[in-house]
Structure 1
């Protein structure tokens, strides 16, 4: 096992910067996830660590050893690709054994390791089959097994679950987590799936346009995003971003207004007429029903920090255990805000339809404020 450190890594292709000033260190034995939209540079970082790409500048260290000039085969890392990359003419056993043969491991020891890993991944009954005889999930486990059997210093996984169906992806994700808990091998995992990132990672590295946006523990990144990109990328449904104007201790959204909590005023020190973006996650929004009781909403929070807004229902999306509501803020004489969308969830027993005008409460104890120009969080 080993730590992995990137120090100001850049990669430029034909004058186009793919990744810029990438610096972070993955401690020995931890599971880190590189998360971001397609084209943000996740796979380029992973391939640079593996030695399949060469950094244009910067330094890469594995186990505190400079790796810039070390070829891929000597880096002692194992990479699992999105398309599995199994040898189609080889059996499962032969695929698992390939890396060991390259290392000239003794045949008896090789067989012991193959069977041990195959049992741990529940593929020991598939050893004599070829990849075309396997399901997608079985092929994925073989690809993981081929990496594990080598006992590398570092695992690199490039969207390994993206080709699996939803149920199998969930099952395999849980198996991956258990596997890491058992092996404790330093792992760097690339995905655009936030669920994978939140459930697997010790730390998440959020990327966009080749740059790091935020690094932190999953719950910290979720609750305290550095900027609007992180806020809206992490979370399903994403964080709502509402344009507000501050004036005399009051937030205005078009013609609707509510008091700005003292805590926010002290943290933000806003000026009159200042425009801000207020971020609020759907789980911190509640529907006000006919039997609305102030005492029953967030009783452990200050009621003064829960504010009312009027919205008009636009789309209803039943999700089984809850209903996702997409609504527009009811704003008159404020055309620039006329399309302000707000999303929240309601219990399935509550019946709503498009066009309904309803009231909702926002718990400002969980509000995040962004500068509309820089899109960075203010006062954090």
Structure 2
């Protein structure tokens, strides 16, 4: 096992910067996830660690050894690719043993390791089959086994679950977590799936446009995002972003208003007519049912950190145990505010239909305020 340290790594292709000033350290035995949208540079970072890409500048250390000039085969890392990359003419056992044979390990040791890993991944009954005789999930296990059997210092995984169906992806993700807990191998995992990142990672590195946006444990990154990109990328359904204007202790959004909590005012020190983006997650929005006294609720919301808004239902999406509602601000004109989408969840017993005008309550104790131009978090 080993730590992995990147110091100001840059990679430039034909005058185009793929990754810029990438610096972080994965401690020995931890599971780190590189998360971000397609094209953000996460796979380039992983391939640079593996030695399949060469950094334009910066230093890369594995187990405190500078490996910039060391070829991939000598870095003692194992990589699992998105497409599995199994040898089609070899059996499962031969695929598992291939890397060990290349290192001229004794045949008896190879056989012992192969059977041990095959049993741990529940593929011991498949050892004589060829890859074309396996399902996608079985092929993925073989690819994982081929990496594990080498007993590398570092385990690198490039979106290994993306080709699996939803149920198999969930099952394999759980198996991966148990596998890491058992083997305790330093792991760097690339994905654009925020559910994978949240459930697997000790730490998440959020990337966008080749730059690190935030590094932290999953709950911190989710609850205290450094900017609007991180906030909206993490969470399903994603965070709602509402354009608001401040004035005389009030936030205005189109022709509706609500009190700006005192702690937000003290933190961001807003000026009259200054604009902000207010972030609120769907789980912090509640439907106000018709049997609630609207006048009393309006008074209560003025006293507490709550906001009452009128919206129009656009789309209803049943999710089984709950319903996802997509609504827009209920305004009469065709301004930008009428296109502001608000998503929230309701119990299945509540019956709504497109076109309904409803009231929703926002819990501002969980609100996050962003600068509209830069996306920087001003209050969380």
Q: What is the TM-score with the length of structure 2 in the denominator?
A: 0.96
- Aligned-pair CA distance for 1:304: 0.1
179-188 or 329-338: which moved more? 329-338
Cα distance in 2 between the residues matched to 1:293 and 1:249: 25
1:140-185: CA deviation from partner (whole Å, max 9, x where unpaired)? 0000000000000000000000000111000000000000000100
In structure 2, the residue corresponding to 1:267 is in which secondary structure?
helix
Q: Hey, what does 2:149 align to over in structure 1?
A: 149
Cα distance in 1 between the residues matched to 2:182 and 2:139: 22
- Aligned-pair CA distance for 1:334: 7.1
- Aligned-pair CA distance for 1:292: 3.2
Matches within 5 A, 1:70-81: 70-81=70-81
Alpha-carbon spacing, 1:303–1:117, altered in 2? closer, same or farther (3 Å): farther
Q: Hey, what does 2:17 align to over in structure 1?
A: 17
Q: Hey, what does 1:222 align to over in structure 2?
A: 222
Q: Hey, what does 2:251 align to over in structure 1?
A: 251
Matches within 5 A, 1:27-46: 27-46=27-46
- Aligned-pair CA distance for 1:332: 4.1
Cα distance in 2 between the residues matched to 1:293 and 1:22: 54
Q: Hey, what does 1:373 align to over in structure 2?
A: 373
Check conservation: 2:368, 2:379, Cα contact below 8 A: no
Matches within 5 A, 1:202-281: 202-281=202-281
Cα distance in 2 between the residues matched to 1:82 and 1:131: 15
Cα distance in 1 between the residues matched to 2:373 and 2:32: 31
Number of residue equivalences: 375
Q: Hey, what does 2:119 align to over in structure 1?
A: 119
- Aligned-pair CA distance for 1:27: 0.6
Check conservation: 1:159, 1:190, Cα contact below 8 A: yes
Alpha-carbon spacing, 1:242–1:129, altered in 2? closer, same or farther (3 Å): same
Check conservation: 2:285, 2:361, Cα contact below 8 A: yes
- Aligned-pair CA distance for 1:269: 1.1
Cα distance in 1 between the residues matched to 2:60 and 2:130: 37
Check conservation: 2:259, 2:302, Cα contact below 8 A: no
In structure 1, the residue corresponding to 2:7 is in which secondary structure?
strand
Q: Hey, what does 1:139 align to over in structure 2?
A: 139
RMSD of aligned Cα (Å) = 1.5
1:288-338: CA deviation from partner (whole Å, max 9, x where unpaired)? 0023389xx9xxx99701121100001111111111101001134571322
Q: Hey, what does 1:350 align to over in structure 2?
A: 350
Q: What is the TM-score with the length of structure 1 in the denominator?
A: 0.96
